[in-house]
Amino acid sequence: MASFLKGFSVLFLGFTLVMSSCIAGNFYQDFDLTWGDNRAKIFNGGQLLSLSLDKISGSGFQSKKEYLFGRIDVQLKLVAGNSAGTVTAYYLSSQGPTHDEIDFEFLGNVSGEPYILHTNVFTQGKGGREQQFYLWFDPTKNFHTYSIIWNLQHIVFLVDNTPIRVFKNAESVGVPYPKNQPMRIYSSLWNADDWATRGGLVKIDWSKAPFTAYYRNFNAQTCTGSCTSSNSKFSNGAWQSQELDAYSRRRLRWVQKNFMIYNYCNDYKRFSKGIPAECRQSRFL
Q: Which residues are catalytic?
A: 101, 105
Please, what's the b/e burial string for 25-54 (b: 16 or more CB within 10 A of its CB; e: otherwise)? bebeebbbbbbbeebbbbeeebbbbbbbbb
What distances in angstroms separate CA 123 from CA 93, 150, 173, 254, one per listed residue?
Answer: 10, 13, 14, 27
CA distance 281 to 270: 19
* HSE-CB for 258 with a 13 A CA cutoff: 9
Q: How many CB atoms lie within 10 A of CB 254?
A: 14
CA angle 65, 133, 198 (to 5 degrees): 105
Contact 58, 187 (CB under 8 A): no
Taking Cα atoms as reference points, which of 163, 151, 88 lies closest to residue 118? Answer: 88
Cis bond upstream, residue 210 (ω within 30): yes
